[in-house]
Chain A
Amino acid sequence: RKEVEQDPGPFNVPEGATVAFNCTYSNSASQSFFWYRQDCRKEPKLLMSVYSSGNEDGRFTAQLNRASQYISLLIRDSKLSDSATYLCVVHSFSGGYNKLIFGAGTRLAVHP
């Protein structure tokens, strides 16, 4: 089983729609969580952190459920420019080292 799992999608949504992605992680000792965005044929870039109490950044809301080992990203009022792959990222400390473990990503396509 992979340490971080995501639905690969694609999620095809019209502009203005609300879309949510989920991610599960297997290591209950994981300490912090993030979402990255990766545009087609580009490098991943940090989108936002995920805090225990949930957090918002404009149209983006991230939530964490430690009990269920589950992270979500909600995008409201989708724009064409939101089309990208969203990577769930978990910080783990294992083998004596800090690591950032990436999920395989969920692809979002926003259409007019």
Chain B
Amino acid sequence: DARVTQTPRHKVTEMGQEVTMRCQPILGHNTVFWYRQTMMQGLELLAYFRNRAPLDDSGMPKDRFSAEMPDATLATLKIQPSEPRDSAVYFCASGLPSDSWTVTGELFFGEGSRLTVL
């Protein structure tokens, strides 16, 4: 059963520390998204890749966040330095090629990385 895999599932860190979250999209999916979910804001789109190329990261605070896809099987989201307001659940999602997800609406989400910054 193909699924999106995210690590770590939980992370507690202190303010100022670097945090790296990793995502393995479903094999064959060429679109990868990073979303952040908080109680107040809901699911916010942070970054978006197609064929490993970053298309849109306008939702991401550029001064401390960075997102990359070093290869087709790995996407990373890094926060440096982390702050308490970064505490949230970070979801990675992947979508089928040819943007068919725009028609079906179906993105496949990982289980999320729950980040707590003290």
The verdict on A102 contacting chain B, using a C-beta distance below 8 Å, is yes
When distances are taken between beta carbons in the complex, the residues of chain A under 8 Å from B42 are 87, 102-105
A 18-38 to B, binary, CB cutoff 8 A, 1 in contact else 0: 000000000000011110000
Chain A stretch 42-101: residues in CB contact (< 8 A) with chain B: 42-46, 49, 87, 89, 91, 95, 97-101
Identify 17 residue pairs between A and B in the complex whose beta-carbon atoms are under 8 Å apart, listed by A's number. Answer: A32-B103, A43-B109, A43-B110, A43-B111, A44-B91, A46-B104, A46-B105, A46-B106, A87-B42, A95-B56, A97-B55, A97-B56, A98-B99, A102-B42, A102-B43, A103-B42, A104-B41
Residue in A34, A42, A103, A104 whose beta carbon sits within 8 Å of that of B105 in the complex: A34
Which chain A residues have a beta carbon within 8 Å of chain B's beta carbons?
31-34, 42-46, 49, 87, 89, 91, 95, 97-105
How many residue-residue contacts, CB under 8 A, span A and B?
A: 54
Per the CB 8 Å criterion, the residue count for chain B at the interface is: 23
When distances are taken between beta carbons in the complex, the residues of chain A under 8 Å from B107 are 46, 100
When chains A and B are docked, how far (Å) is the Cα of A103 from the Cα of B41? 9
Docked-complex contact A91 and B109, CB < 8 angstroms: no
When chains A and B are docked, how far (Å) is the Cα of A45 from the Cα of B110? 10
